[in-house]
């Protein structure tokens, strides 16, 4: 049942809640994407099936897809959603830039296809508030390629890049003011209820790279309202993966499943004082406690 905290760990030190993580599956059938020297689009469906089979061997509260389930065509969504339907645990989604590209920037269509409650949303379980963000706004990701608005957006990104903003890239987005206000209210509700907060998003907010959200400073300012209640920020987008910190809270970027012939996915276990990540394939195994790796 959604919200079950258990896992199959032994002894008294049981997690409050456990869940599966996949990032950047980017499935594409043959011919639906340009060849790439590292990415194996054609293998992603079988990699996802392997991940779900592993998840089904554990008692998980949910599985979170951190975005970019497909690479470039909405026609490829059906086969991977079919895999997710075999999951014992409920599956939740975060929108990625490639998901939007597959729907020509049509966010409502992508949200409907993934049966998401909205482009951003939250729920509570086991003393935690889980918040899914939509980091695909304020750039060009939701604009029809070639449109007047898209060209203006590209020009603005070029101006910002020339000014030294390395994340001013067409594959990045951010949070619009409406969503930032909503996030602030969610954090305030969590604080009032003494809930810990775990953020899921497609794009990283730290460390600063060419894959960071466009308005990282604004997002960090809002996240600061969670204070010590922020348990972590989990994302994808940068296929190499990585680790940063928002105060004492870990900001983990998960490795892209689509890259190479070797798989990448994880199981996260949340405890009262720490979070552990069991990595499979190319994903890193970590124990994260109070600002320490």
In three-state form (DSSP H/G/I as H, E/B as E, the rest C), the secondary structure along 190-245 is HHHCCCEEEEECCCCCCCCCCCCCCCHHHHHHHHHHHHHHEEEEEECCCCCCEEEE
- How confident is the model at residue 12, as a pLDDT? 59
- How confident is the model at residue 66, as a pLDDT? 98
- DSSP H helical ranges for the chain: 44-56, 77-84, 97-102, 107-113, 148-162, 177-192, 216-223
Q: 206 or 149: which carries more pLDDT confidence?
A: 206
Taking 50 as the threshold, does the pLDDT of residue 287 lie above it? Answer: yes
Q: Is 101 exposed, middle or buried (0-12, 13-18, 19+ CB in 10 A)?
A: buried
- How confident is the model at residue 1, as a pLDDT? 30
- How confident is the model at residue 145, as a pLDDT? 81
- How confident is the model at residue 5, as a pLDDT? 42
β-pair partners for 275: 270, 288
Instruction: Give the pLDDT confidence of 156-182 residue by residue, as tens digits.
Output: 999 999 999 999 999 999 999 999 999
Q: What is the mean pLDDT of the chain?
A: 92
Confidence of residue 290 (pLDDT cuts 50, 70, 90): low
- How confident is the model at residue 32, as a pLDDT? 81
- How confident is the model at residue 4, as a pLDDT? 40
- How confident is the model at residue 289, as a pLDDT? 85
- How confident is the model at residue 30, as a pLDDT? 79
State CA 114 to chain mean position distance.
14
Instruction: Give the pLDDT confidence of 226-251 residue by residue, as tens digits.
Output: 888 999 999 999 999 999 999 999 99
β-pair partners for 266: 21, 279
Average pLDDT in the 182-211 region? 96
State CA 27 to chain mean position distance.
16
Per-domain residue ranges for the chain? 17-288
Instruction: Give the pLDDT confidence of 111-150 residue by residue, as tens digits.
Output: 999 999 999 999 999 999 999 999 999 988 888 888 888 8
Taking 90 as the threshold, does the pLDDT of residue 35 lie above it? Answer: no
Q: Is 78 exposed, middle or buried (0-12, 13-18, 19+ CB in 10 A)?
A: exposed
Q: 207 or 1: which carries more pLDDT confidence?
A: 207
Could you tell me which of 248, 252, 282 has the C-alpha nearest to residue 265?
282
- How confident is the model at residue 171, as a pLDDT? 93
- How confident is the model at residue 10, as a pLDDT? 45
* Contact (CB, 8 A) for 126 and 3: yes
Average pLDDT in the 52-61 region? 98
Instruction: Give the pLDDT confidence of 139-160 residue by residue, as tens digits.
Output: 888 888 888 888 999 999 999 9
- Name the fold adopted by 17-288: Purple Acid Phosphatase; chain A, domain 2 (3.60.21)
């Amino acid at each position: 049942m959604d919200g079950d905290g258990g896992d199959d760990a032994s002894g008294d030190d049981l997690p409050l809640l456990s869940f599966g993580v996949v990032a950047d599956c980017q499935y594409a059938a043959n011919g639906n994407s340009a060849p790439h020297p590292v990415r194996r689009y054609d293998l992603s469906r079988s990699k996802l099936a392997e991940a779900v089979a592993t998840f089904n061997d554990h008692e998980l509260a949910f599985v979170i897809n951190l975005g970019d389930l497909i690479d470039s065509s909405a026609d490829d969504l059906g086969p991977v959603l079919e895999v997710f339907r075999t999951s014992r645990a409920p599956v939740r989604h975060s929108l990625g830039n490639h998901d939007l590209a597959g729907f020509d920037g049509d966010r409502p269509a992508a949200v409907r296809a993934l049966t998401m409650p909205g482009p951003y949303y939250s729920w509570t379980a086991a003393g935690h508030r889980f918040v899914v963000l939509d980091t695909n706004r304020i750039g060009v990701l939701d604009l029809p390629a070639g449109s007047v608005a898209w060209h203006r957006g590209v020009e603005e990104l070029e101006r910002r890049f020339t000014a030294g903003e390395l994340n001013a890239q067409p594959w990045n987005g951010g949070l619009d003011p409406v969503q930032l206000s909503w996030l602030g209210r969610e954090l305030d509700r969590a604080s009032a209820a003494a809930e810990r907060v775990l953020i899921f998003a497609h794009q990283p907010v730290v460390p600063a790279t060419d894959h960071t959200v466009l308005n990282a400073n604004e997002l960090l300012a809002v996240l600061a309202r969670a204070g010590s209640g922020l348990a972590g920020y989990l994302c994808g987008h940068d296929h190499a993966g990585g680790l940063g910190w928002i105060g004492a809270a870990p900001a983990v970027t998960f490795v892209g499943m689509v890259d190479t012939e070797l798989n990448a996915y994880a199981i996260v276990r949340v405890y009262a004082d720490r979070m552990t990540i069991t990595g499979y394939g190319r994903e890193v195994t970590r124990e994260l406690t109070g600002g320490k790796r």
